[in-house]
Structure formats: C-alpha cells, structure tokens
C-alpha cells in the first residue's frame, strides 16, 4: 500500500497541467521577449495565462506578477510594502505567530534592519482574531500580513474582516494564500488585499512557479535585477511552459473544487473521528474553520520524527510539525502558538489529503497510525512514566 498524505507539502501535477507544459515546451519554446513572431507566440501564450489566472482570482491581468513560487511572492510583497512604508516613516509591520517561514524570516530580516515587527498571537484553535488586528494597526503601519489558510493545521483565517480593517485604516494588506488558492474560493476583491501570494505546486501545477497579485497602485520593487520582464519588476526569462501548466492546473482545480471538497470533507470526518479514539491525543486547529484536506493531531508520549519513519515503512507519506529533520530540535512554531507544550508539540502528525485519495486510503491510515502510535508508546520511557503516574498527562 502507498498512501500519499502530504498534499500541503506538494502535489502531483495534474494531467492537464502536464499536457499544457509539454505542449508549450514543444511548440512555443521561443523567448517571449524576442521580436520575431515565434517569440511573440510565447508572449501571447504568456498573456493568455496571465489573463486566465487573473480572472480566476477576480483580478486584472496587469495585477499578476509571475514568480518562482510562494516563497518569492511572500518576500517580494513584504519587502515592497515595508520599504515603501519606511520612505513615509512607517516602520511597523503586523503579522501573526503562525505564518510560513517565507513570511516570518522576511519579517526577521526587516526587524534586523530597524523595523518594528508585531506578531499577533492566535487562539487555541489556531485562529487570528480580527479584533487583535484592529487594535494593532495604526497610521505607523507599513503592512499587515496574515495568511489565508495555515499550512500546518489548516485553519482558515478571517481575511475578509482583516482586509476591511486594513482598508479602513489605510494600511496595505498582504495574504499568503498558498494553501488556499485552487482549494477554497479566493477572490482578491472580496478579501480586499493589496498583495496575495500563490504557488502552483500546491494545486497540481509544477514546482518553481507561482504568482503575486499586486493591486493596481500598490508599490512593488524587484528582488531580481536584470531584464525588463514582468514590467521591470521580476527579471529573468519567463518559464512559459510552467506558467501555462500553472494556469491549466488552476482552472481545473477551481472547476473541480466542489466535488473535490465534498470528498475531502468526508475523508476528513472519517479520519478525525477515527484518530480521536487514540487515547491522549488532540486535534490541532479548529474543527470546522479548516481546510477539508487537513488533519493534524498531537499524540502524547511519542516523537513525531519516529512516527514518520515508521509510517514511511508502511508506505505512508505524512508530515510532522516537529522540525528535527531541518536540523533544529525546536518544535513547530505553529503548535507552540496554539498552546501545545514542547513535549506534546513534538508528537505531532499532519495528514493532508488530495482528491486522488480514497476511502481505502483512510481505512489504511486508521489501521496503521494507531498501531504505530501504540508501538512507539510501548517503547517510550516518557509513556511509562505517564502510565505509572510519575508524570502528569497533558492531553
């Protein structure tokens, strides 16, 4: 059995995206900046993709900048707004404790350059409170950045309310919508954001390509200097095949969203209900305000790292909030932000399903996850102490 349950990390390319990719790579491989007609064909395809992506997000084609993915889009949006704000003496940046590292590390860099960074806390359910944003924003703010859906615990944030607050106070608003675009409805006008980041490989497109929505009139500075591509805001020959694949993937994802989410919701209910029977566990993130693909749990008395390795032996691709693999022993900042203590946060498991997953996959997960948790607990000295009452259970 092989179960891919890590769609928040990346997704398989959709057949329509692969087809668009190979067609463009074969037939329209000219450089869109070349003046001869073969180059102009590539340019026309690029324009058509920009228009398609824009219309699928409720944006204007001129408001879409192609990038190398979510990380670049986040960097460009935040740095653009921050430096534009600083010119007017605004050096305060507001964000949240549960953002992706592409946001958090960019903010850290700006903090080292003298910006004031405020990271708002979240509720135990992993939700940002719009009231907190309202209290924190004032005329000194250069930017508010709040993600649309969290990549670890799947919680969906009140971005429309936050957008309204920002508009009322005249503060630019960026949202990292990488986990949302192609999965739940996203309309830049409804959100009322100035910047929105998306990444193709999270919705069945290729890796290494994404886009940044930049509202007309919002400042934008380039991160990469060179040619005049993307209206001078992102140098480098455009990856037209990848962009064509991204446009195709987005179109198909949005068209199939209703059906996909009905399936995912059913699988999620089954998975959450089933895993809840494991003793001393807890669901991470709000039960309802979450992506239908995301199931995240903490199991007391185990290490997420060992859990992943044993699941890998059983053919399951999953993820853990524990960041041991990245060489640090710190547990996930998201799990700490929702109030999990270190030991509990280390025992986390994130299963993120996609529309190619089946009922059988979920049944298999419901068989192997409890077995593996049990096996690890039986070997764990921490679990023995908990059972013998030498330590208090937290969950």
Ligand X SMILES: *Cc1c(COP(=O)(O)O)cnc(C)c1O
CB of 175 to ligand X, least distance (A): 10
Fill in the per-residue mask, 309 to 348: x = in contact with ligand X (CB under 6 A), - = not in contact.
----------------------------------------
Q: Within a 10 A sphere around the Cβ of 105, how many other Cβ atoms?
A: 14
Which of residues 178 and 275 has its CB atom nearest to ligand X in the complex?
A: 178
- Residue 289 DSSP one-character state: S
Task: Return the residues of window 203-242 that contact ligand X according to CB under 6 A.
Answer: 210
CB of 71 to ligand X, least distance (A): 3
Give the one residue of 32, 70, 321, 347 binding ligand X; rule: CB under 6 A.
70
Residue pair 93/141 in contact (Cβ under 8 Å)? The answer is yes
Task: Return the residues of window 81-140 that contact ligand X according to CB under 6 A.
Answer: 100, 102
Which of residues 28 and 186 has its CB atom nearest to ligand X in the complex?
A: 186
User: Of 14-22, 70-78, 166-174, 353-361, which segment contacts ligand X by CB under 6 A?
Assistant: 70-78
49 is catalytic: no
Which of residues 74 and 239 has its CB atom nearest to ligand X in the complex?
A: 74
What span, in angstroms and rounded, lies between the C-alpha atoms of 370 and 279? 10
User: Of 67-75, 155-163, 224-232, 360-368, which segment contacts ligand X by CB under 6 A?
Assistant: 67-75
CB of 88 to ligand X, least distance (A): 28
What span, in angstroms and rounded, lies between the C-alpha atoms of 20 and 9? 23
CB of 368 to ligand X, least distance (A): 25
Residue pair 42/165 in contact (Cβ under 8 Å)? The answer is no
What span, in angstroms and rounded, lies between the C-alpha atoms of 38 and 314? 50
User: Of 122-130, 176-184, 187-195, 383-391, which segment contacts ligand X by CB under 6 A?
Assistant: 176-184
Residue pair 173/97 in contact (Cβ under 8 Å)? The answer is no
Which of residues 130 and 291 has its CB atom nearest to ligand X in the complex?
A: 291
Does 178 help bind ligand X (rule: CB under 6 A)? Answer: yes
Give the one residue of 11, 71, 96, 155 binding ligand X; rule: CB under 6 A.
71
CB of 69 to ligand X, least distance (A): 3
- Residue 76 DSSP one-character state: H
How would you class 223 by CB atoms within 10 Å of its CB: exposed for 0-12, middle for 13-18, buried for 19 or more? middle
What span, in angstroms and rounded, lies between the C-alpha atoms of 224 and 246? 21
Helix (H, G, I), strand (E, B) or coil at 94: strand
Does 199 help bind ligand X (rule: CB under 6 A)? Answer: yes
CB of 72 to ligand X, least distance (A): 7
Residue nearest ligand X (C-beta atom): 70
User: Of 21-29, 63-71, 219-227, 317-325, which segment contacts ligand X by CB under 6 A?
Assistant: 63-71
Which of residues 245 and 386 has its CB atom nearest to ligand X in the complex?
A: 245
Distances (CA, A) of 301 to 180, 279, 283, 287, 329: 32, 11, 15, 23, 16
User: Of 65-73, 258-266, 284-292, 303-311, which segment contacts ligand X by CB under 6 A?
Assistant: 65-73
Of 74, 141, 142, nearest to 103 (Cα)?
A: 74
Which of residues 201 and 215 has its CB atom nearest to ligand X in the complex?
A: 201
Which of residues 52 and 100 has its CB atom nearest to ligand X in the complex?
A: 100
CB of 68 to ligand X, least distance (A): 7
Residue pair 155/125 in contact (Cβ under 8 Å)? The answer is yes
Distances (CA, A) of 363 to 273, 307, 350, 369, 370: 12, 18, 16, 10, 11
Phi-psi region of 234 (alpha: psi -120 to 50; beta: other; left: phi over 0): beta
What span, in angstroms and rounded, lies between the C-alpha atoms of 238 and 232? 12
Which of residues 212 and 302 has its CB atom nearest to ligand X in the complex?
A: 212
Helix (H, G, I), strand (E, B) or coil at 8: coil
- State both tokens at 360: 């059988």
What span, in angstroms and rounded, lies between the C-alpha atoms of 290 and 197? 19
Does 158 help bind ligand X (rule: CB under 6 A)? Answer: no
* CA count, 13 A, side-chain hemisphere, 77: 38
Give the one residue of 179, 253, 268, 322 binding ligand X; rule: CB under 6 A.
179
Q: Which residues bind ligand X (CB under 6 A)?
A: 69-71, 74, 100, 102, 147, 151, 176, 178-179, 199, 201-202, 210
Which residues are tagged catalytic?
A: 324
């Amino acid at each position: 059995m092989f179960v891919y349950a890590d769609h928040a990390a990346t997704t398989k390319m959709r057949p329509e995206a692969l087809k668009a990719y190979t067609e463009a790579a074969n037939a329209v491989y000219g450089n869109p900046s070349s003046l001869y007609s073969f180059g102009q064909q590539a340019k026309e395809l690029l324009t058509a993709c920009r228009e398609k992506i824009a219309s699928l997000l409720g944006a204007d084609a001129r408001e879409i900048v192609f990038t190398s993915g979510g990380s670049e889009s986040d960097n460009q949006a935040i740095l653009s707004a921050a430096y534009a704000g600083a010119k007017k003496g605004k050096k305060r940046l507001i964000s949240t404790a549960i953002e992706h590292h592409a946001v958090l590390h960019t903010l850290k860099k700006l903090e080292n350059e003298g910006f004031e960074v405020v990271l708002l806390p979240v509720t135990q359910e992993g939700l940002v409170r719009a009231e907190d944003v309202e209290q924190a924003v004032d005329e000194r703010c250069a930017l508010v950045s709040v993600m649309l859906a969290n990549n670890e615990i799947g919680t969906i944030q009140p971005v429309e309310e936050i957008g309204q607050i920002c508009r009322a106070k005249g503060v630019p608003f960026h949202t990292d919508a990488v986990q949302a675009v192609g999965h739940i409805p996203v309309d830049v006008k409804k959100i009322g954001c100035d910047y929105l980041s998306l990444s193709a490989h999270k919705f069945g497109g290729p890796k290494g390509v994404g886009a940044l929505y930049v509202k007309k009139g919002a400042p934008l500075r380039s991160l990469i200097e060179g040619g005049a591509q993307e209206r001078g805001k992102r140098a480098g020959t455009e990856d037209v095949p990848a962009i064509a694949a991204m446009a195709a993937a987005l179109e198909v994802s949005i068209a199939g969203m209703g059906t996909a989410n009905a399936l995912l919701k059913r699988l999620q209910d089954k998975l959450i209900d089933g895993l809840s029977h494991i003793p001393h566990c807890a669901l991470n993130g709000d039960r309802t305000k979450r992506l239908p693909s995301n199931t995240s749990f903490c199991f007391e008395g185990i290490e997420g790292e060992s859990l992943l390795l044993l699941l890998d032996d059983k053919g399951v691709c999953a993820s853990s909030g524990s960041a041991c693999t990245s060489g640090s022993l710190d547990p996930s900042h998201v799990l700490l932000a929702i109030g999990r203590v270190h030991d509990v946060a280390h025992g986390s498991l994130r299963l993120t399903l996609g529309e190619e997953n089946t009922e059988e996959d979920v049944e298999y997960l419901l068989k192997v996850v409890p077995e593996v948790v049990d096996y690890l607990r039986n070997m764990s000295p921490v679990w023995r102490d908990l059972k013998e009452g030498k330590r208090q259970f937290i969950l």
